[in-house]
Structure 1
Amino acid sequence: MIRIAHISDLHFGRTAPELLDPLIGALNAAGADLVAVTGDLTQRARDSQFRAARAFLNRLDPPWISVPGNHDVPLDNPWLRLLRPYARYRRHVSADLAPRARIGALTVQGFNTVDPLRWQRGKVRRRDLDQACQAFAEAPGPRLAMAHHPFEQAPGTPKSLMKHAGPSLEALARCGADIVLSGHLHRWRAEPFLTREAGRRVLQVHVGTGLSTRLRGQENDFALLAIEGDQIELTRMVAKEGAFRPASLAVFRKGLAGWTGV
C-alpha cells in the first residue's frame, strides 16, 4: 500500500498559527510515503513567507514534492513578476517547477500551471503535458498528476477555469493518468470525472486550505490517499477543536473505464 498526503494553499503570511503544529503532527502521524503540496505556499511570495513555508516543510518526516501556485509569484513587484517570477520559489522551495517522483510503483508528475501574466487564472503548457505523458508511459503502476489549478470546476465557481484545462485533461487521460491532485479554490471536492474523448474516469482530489484563514465556507483540511492495487481509500482530514481529524472516507475502485465510487 502507498500512502499519499495531499495539502494545498498554506498561504504563509495569512495563516491560523494555532493550526501549524496540529497540521505537522497529523502529517507526521499519517504514515505517508509522500506529501504532495499543490501550490500557494505563500500569500504574497515574500522572502519571509517563503522562509516560513520552508521551515514548515523541513519539519515534515515524509519526503515531499511541491508545485507553485499563483500566490507564489510576486504581486507587488511587477518587474520581478515579469522578469523572474519564480526566483523566490526556486530559492526557498525547489528549483524544479514540474518535479517528478517515484514511490514504489506509483509515478507522480507535477505541473506548473501558474501564468505570471495573469493574477489567478492558470494555464497548461504543452511541454509539461509531453513530460507527463513520457513519465506515465514508463510507469509500472498508478500515475498521479498534481497541479495548483484544477482541470475541472463545479458549476458556478467564481474563479475562471485555467486555459487549456479540458483538452489537457483529455490528453492526461489518454496518457494513462489515474489521479489528479489540485487546490486553488479552497474547497474540497473528490470524485471521478469522465473524460469525453478518452472515455476514462480520472479521479479528482481537490483539497481546501491546510492553514489559511482565507476559508470559502469550509474547514481547513487535507487528504490522505491509501492506494493498493486497483483501490483507493480517500480520507478527508478536517481541523476541529485544535486537531486534524478524519471527517469522511470514500473508497474508489478502478475498472476498464476508470474509477467509480464504492
Structure 2
Amino acid sequence: MASTDKAEGGIVDTIKQVFYALLIAGIFRAFFFQPFWIPSGSMKDTLLIGDFLFVNKMAYGYSQYSCEIPLVNVSFCPFVKGRVLSSEPEVGDVVVFKHPTSKVDYIKRLIGKPGDKIQMIDGVLHINGTALKTEPDGFFEEISRAQGPQRSPVRCFDNIPVGDGAICQKEKFIETLPNGVEHSILNIVNQPSDNTQVFTVPAQHYFFMGDNRDNSTDSRFSQLGGGVGYAHEDLLIGRADRVMFSSAGKSLFYFWTWRGDRFFKKIE
C-alpha cells in the first residue's frame, strides 16, 4: 500500500511540475518575449522566410491583445482597456501586431504615426509631402525555389521567370526615414501599389509597410480588400530586434538547412 501511495504521489508531483513549468513558460511568452517564425517574404531582405526571432513585448507596453496565452489565444489581460506601461514606437521599428480584423499576427515596418501623411509616388515613399532619400544598393539574390512550410514561390525582377534552382534577383535600395533610420527595401516590378492616394494616419493608429514593397499586403491596402489598413495602437504586440537563427528548409527543425550567416543577426 505504501509503495502504491508513493507512486501515486510521484505522479501527482510530476503533473504539478509540468503544470507549473507550462504556466511559467506561458507567463514568459505573454509578458516578456514571444517566439515568432517568419512565414512569408513580405519583409525581405530584412527578414527571410524561416527566420526565427523573439519579439520584445516589453517595448510598447501591454493591451488585451499583447499578453495572450500560447496556442489557445486567451488573454492574460482580458479586462485591460487601452495600453498599460505603454511606450511610443518609433518610425522604422519592425513590429509584430494583430491584424485589425482577422487578429492574425503580422510583422511589418512602422512607417507612419498618428497625423502623418503617407503616399507612394512612382515607387518612392513620401512622408508628409517629402520624398524619402532612396539610394541604389545593387541586387538582392536568392535561389529560385519554393520556400518555407507554405512552399511560397519567389518573384524575380520584372517578373522574369527563371528555372528552379537558378539565381533570382530583385533591385535593392537603401531608404532613409525622416528620423534617420536607414533600411533595405526591394523592388520587383512597377505595379499599382507604387502609386497611391495620400493616407492620413488617424489618431491612435499606425501605418505599416513591408520592405519587400511589391510583395507585401500592408497598410496601403484596405482591410476589406484583405490588407492591413490602419492598425490601432492596442493591436501592437512588440518589437523585433534580432534574428536568433534561420532555417531555409520546410521546417524550423531541419538544422542542416540553417543559414550560418543569420545567427543573432540584428534587425535594422
Q: Normalization by structure 2: what TM-score?
A: 0.26
TM-score, length-normalised on structure 1? 0.27
Greater helix fraction, Structure 1 or Structure 2? 1
